[in-house]
């Protein structure tokens, strides 16, 4: 389930965008609020440790701490400047870790809730991230995340495709593949839902500037490294004009929400292309006693 992304570029882009992210990330804030509404389905639940993967500037930390006042909140992000911004106004229960979602520096079965809003699409191997989520969750734990689907920025992708064949807009994973990934990783009772958002802009350059401001530029490993020339960009802008409707240009965002229960104890988990089955020492002793 590789997305073909350049992780170094993702880290740099979001690091540079940290200071202005909150100002421009209106959609991201709305998606985060809708994601956390799904926690209403667990009214009596009191997790001991919550992991916020891809916490960015820490917008979710206060709502999570308010909902779960007795929990330790672990905020994790790939970009150190994002974590520094989050730590400046964080609840007392928050702890901060700069790390990759695909290699979580946490012990097995040490987290009760993995929360991640609009981070998974920036993982080069989302399946590996799901395997890490499964590894750190305790039995009975909950995974809750949102990510972008393949219709996201379809107009911008089409405008660039009309000018050249080089990828300029990152690719996103289909909802059905996400569901398959959850099942393959051992998650139980997955529920996936979808929202479509349409943001409107006066011109294509404003959209591109906004994407750059939040660090959501092109991170495709096959992208062209050279700067886009003025004439080339003008042709892209002209191609985007074919989507103009009622005086504005649309930008589509497909958002996928997913929730699932942690794998049962002993459920095989993915590691390095294979599966690892885990079991307790008591089960091992019991199996020997029966021989």
What is the model's pLDDT at position 88?
94
- Check residue 220 and give its pLDDT: 57
CATH topology of domain 7-151+170-200+255-289: Rossmann fold (3.40.50)
- For 208-217, the pLDDT digits (tens) are 999 999 988 6
Give, in degrees to the nearest 5, the angle at Cα 30 between 29 and 33. Answer: 90
pTM equals 0.86
Q: Is the pLDDT of residue 136 over 90?
A: yes
Worst-scoring range by mean pLDDT, 32-41, 117-126, 203-212, 258-267?
258-267
Does 284 have pLDDT greater than 50? Answer: no
Q: How high is the mean pLDDT of the chain? A: 88
Residue 274 has pLDDT above 90, yes or no: no
- How many alpha carbons fall within 13 Å on the CB side of residue 159? 26
């Amino acid at each position: 389930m590789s997305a073909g992304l350049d992780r170094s570029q993702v880290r740099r882009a979001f690091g540079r965008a940290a200071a202005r992210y909150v100002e421009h990330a209106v959609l991201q804030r709305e998606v985060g609020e809708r994601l956390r509404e799904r926690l209403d389905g667990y009214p009596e639940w009191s997790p001991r440790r919550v992991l916020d993967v891809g916490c960015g500037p820490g917008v979710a930390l206060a709502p999570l701490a308010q909902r779960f006042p007795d929990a330790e909140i672990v905020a994790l992000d790939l970009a150190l400047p994002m974590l520094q911004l989050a730590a400046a106004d964080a609840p007392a229960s928050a702890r901060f870790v700069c790390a990759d979602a695909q290699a979580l520096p946490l012990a097995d079965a040490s987290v009760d809730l993995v929360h991640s809003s609009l981070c998974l699409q920036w993982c080069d191997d989302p399946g590996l991230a799901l395997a890490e989520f499964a590894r750190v969750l305790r039995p009975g734990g909950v995974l809750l995340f949102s990510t972008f689907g393949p219709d996201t920025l379809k107009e911008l992708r089409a405008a660039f495709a009309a000018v050249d064949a080089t990828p300029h807009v990152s690719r996103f994973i289909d909802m059905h593949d996400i569901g398959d990934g959850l099942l393959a990783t051992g998650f139980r009772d997955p529920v996936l839902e979808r929202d479509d958002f349409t943001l409107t802009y006066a011109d294509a350059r404003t959209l591109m500037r906004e994407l750059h401001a939040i660090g959501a530029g092109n991170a495709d490993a096959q992208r062209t490294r050279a700067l886009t020339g003025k004439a080339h960009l003008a042709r892209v802008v002209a191609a985007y004009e074919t989507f103009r409707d009622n005086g504005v240009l649309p930008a589509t965002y497909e958002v996928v929400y997913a929730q699932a229960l942690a794998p049962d104890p002993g459920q095989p988990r993915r590691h390095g292309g294979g599966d690892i089955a885990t079991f307790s020492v008591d089960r091992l002793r019991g199996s020997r006693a029966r021989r």
